[in-house]
Structure 1
Amino acid sequence: MAMAAHKIDPLSVDFRSLDMLARVYRLGSFTRAAEELDVTQSVVSYTIEKLRGVFGDPLFVREGRQLLPTPRCEEVVTEGGDLLARFTRLAAPQQFDPASSAETITIACNFYERALIIPRLVRRIRAAAPRIKVEIVDAGYLGHDKLLRTEADMLIGPFVQLGAAFYSRTLYEDPYVCLMDPSHPMAGKALALNDYLALEHIYITYGGRWKSRYMQYLEQRGHALSIAIKTPSPAGIHNLIAGTQLVATIPERLSQELGEGLHVTRCPVDAPVAIQMVWTARTQGSEMHKWVRGQVVQAIKG
């Protein structure tokens, strides 16, 4: 991709150009960015070429079929995102009326939160602000990255805050319990740590990128579980346990959703998972987002 032949006046750059750059960066495609913005690809290409001249950098390079950002591009997207956020806050109405607002809130979370928190939250939002649109996106293990890329407004889950770029609030801590078939020899008995380590376990890997607090605790103390089955998600865990001698360790609140017909007993590993609500400076001062964060807290209490 050729760079512009001469330096272009930086004051010729508008917020729409920075937004277009951020979309190409996020989507990894000129075509997909054009589709999302409902413009032609030539408009996107022209804008990116202009920005290359402004910043004296190619901004994107191709490796095979991938469109990869340069380090300078990442810097511009980060700083430009902050500028866009501040300007959006400046232009936003000072008052927020839930009953009339038609804004969109995007929340990144995973299975646990979609099962336990999101249904209550959505009911509260729909009751007080029926025109607000809620979009739920998968957080995976890159929830913080989704916030920085403005792919989400809020992150809910057991995520550790990473640096000054994030604001967070601990919603609650959830201790771990063990699920087993009622016919299991240890059903109805209190599990000591040695008993727990001797069991055959179903281990939930969460895609292999995030490790449960109880597993971190065990590994830090030199213990290892006997793992018979690995599964990426708690979904369907009941069917894996029923009629077997296998045991799964999951947060207590989740067991209330998934443990019907199974025996539930306390896990001897005292390492509860902390469920966090995380956001960035982009939404920190927004009256709408303040209201939504309040609704999350109330949904937990309710």
Structure 2
Amino acid sequence: MIEKLELNHLRMLSALYEHGTVSAAAEALDVSQQAASLQLKRVREILGDPLFVRTGHGMVPTAYGQLIEPHVRQLLTLIHAMPMPTSIPLEEIERTLSISATDHAQRIIVGDLIRELRRAAPRVKVKISNIESAGLVRRMQEGEIGVAFTSNGYVPEGLLSTPLFTERYVCVAGRPLTEGPGALALEALVEHDFLVVSPAVPSFDGSAGSWFEQQGLRRRVVASVPSFFMALQYLRQSDMVAFMPSRLLPCDGLFEVPLKKYPPGFEVVAAYHPSAMSDSLLTWVLDCVRANCGKAR
């Protein structure tokens, strides 16, 4: 039966030990005397002992009531000592923050974040891994990954996400494709071979495939790579063209191809498990990243 004791029961016992009457205990707890009497009755039923008896000077604990008094006080002390999610100073947090991120997000977000973390939370270690959508929910639920920085389209169902910024695309190639300041027509652009970046699952579709179809055009994709950084390197060494995130440019050895129309960009988000919503470190990380991304606009 003891497992049926509630926090309010312990608080009532503690108030009776201290004040000696039901009325005084009720006043200290800011409840009615009737409510206090009902709580005492319930505790007596649970523990199978009167706990307190009336005397000419109020109520005094029984032998069993005296026996459990230090336990009641100890339990309340432990409960009151429990830290709240936001009560631990950032500089005292000692743990590992595991981040999963695309190479684009690692370049734009993670470098600045690590620098800020070293200043604000020097006891926090950071572990970075490349983004993998498969198994991300399970790994976050089990605490293996704390936060992921990726595009909105790669956030699996079951995770929460916070928008950080919208990235736009720029068309680039290893050599100039236009003469002068004029823009290249899309009909001329699709005559070139394309390279696409597909970070999570290898694919020749790319993010702009459906956009070209909406323009009534079909491009020829000849290479698919998982990394924006390697894509930039491959473009330097070939005659392919590609759409690259603007925040990774300019890049030595690559030339922007001006166009009249561009495919829509993508939203970069921070993804995390719902169980981490009250994590003070995660809250600080999200605030820090949003502030840094805002400055970079």
TM-score range, shorter chain: 0.5 to 0.7
In the alignment, residue 276 of structure 1 is paired with which amino acid? V
One-letter code of the match for 1:176? Y
User: In structure 2, how many angstroms separate the alpha carbons of the residues matched to 1:279 and 1:115?
Assistant: 20
The alpha-carbon distance between structure 1 residues 103 and 149, as it changes in their structure 2 partners (threshold 3 A), is closer
Secondary structure at the aligned position of 2:268 is classed as strand
Q: Which residue of 1 aligns with 2:109?
A: 117
Q: Which residue of 2 aligns with 1:43?
A: none
CA distance in structure 1 between the partners assigned to 2:238 and 2:177 by the alignment: 8
What pairs up with 1:1-302 in 2 under 5 angstroms? 94-142=86-134, 143-160=136-153, 161-163=155-157, 165-185=158-178, 188-206=181-199, 208-209=201-202, 212-219=206-213, 223-242=217-236, 244-256=238-250, 259-266=251-258, 268-302=261-295
Distance 1:185 1:224 in 2: 21
Q: Does the Cα contact within 8 Å between 2:176 and 2:256 map onto a contact in 1?
A: no
Go from structure 1 to structure 2 and tell me whether the alpha carbon gap of 1:186 and 1:141 turns closer, same or farther (over 3 Å shift). Answer: farther
Number of residue pairs the alignment of both structures matches: 211
Distance 2:209 2:122 in 1: 41
Distance 1:269 1:176 in 2: 7
Tell me, in whole angstroms, the C-alpha distance in 2 between the residues paired with 1:275 and 1:297: 11
Q: Quick check: 2:100–2:130 contact (8 Å CA) kept in 1? A: yes
Q: CA deviation at 1:114?
A: 1.3
TM-score of the two chains, using structure 2 as the length reference: 0.62
The CA deviation at 1:134 is 1.2
Query: Match for 1:260: what amino acid?
Result: D
Deviations 1:241-288 (A, max 9, x none): 2364321211111234xx223212355333111101111221101222
Whole-angstrom distance in 1 between the partners of 2:198 and 2:216: 19
The CA deviation string for residues 118-137 of structure 1, in whole angstroms up to 9 with x for no partner, is 10111111111111111112
Asked whether the 8 Å contact 2:198–2:227 carries over to 1, the reply is: yes
Query: Structure 1 pair 173/234, CA: closer, same or farther in 2 (3 Å)?
Result: same
Distance between the aligned counterparts of 2:103 and 2:110, measured in 1?
A: 10
Structure 2: gaps spanning 5 or more residues: 4-81
Inter-CA distance 136–242: structure 2 relative to 1 (3 Å threshold): closer
Partner deviation per Cα, 1:227-246 (whole Å, 9 max, x = no partner): 23333322333442236432
Q: Distance in 2 between matches of 1:244 and 1:300?
A: 32
| RMSD, aligned α-carbons | 2.8
Contact residue 175 and residue 252 of structure 1 kept, 8 A = yes
Larger Rg: 2
Aligned AA for 1:159?
Answer: N
Report Cα offsets for 1:134-192 as digits up to 9, x if no partner: 111222233445324432111111033554x3321111111111111344346854133
Q: Distance in 1 between matches of 2:91 and 2:277?
A: 21
Query: Are residues 266 and 144 of structure 1, via their aligned partners in 2, closer, same or farther at CA, if it must alter by over 3 Å?
Result: farther
Tell me: CA distance 1:156–1:224, structure 2 relative to 1, closer, same or farther (3 Å).
same
Deviations 1:201-250 (A, max 9, x none): 12223353576432343356664211233333223334422364321211
Answer with 234-243 or 291-300: which moved more: 234-243
* Partner Cα distance (2:113, 2:198) in 1: 27
Structure 1 residues without counterparts, runs of 5 or longer = 1-10, 12-89
Quick check: 1:94–1:287 contact (8 Å CA) kept in 2? yes
TM-score, with structure 1 as normaliser: 0.61
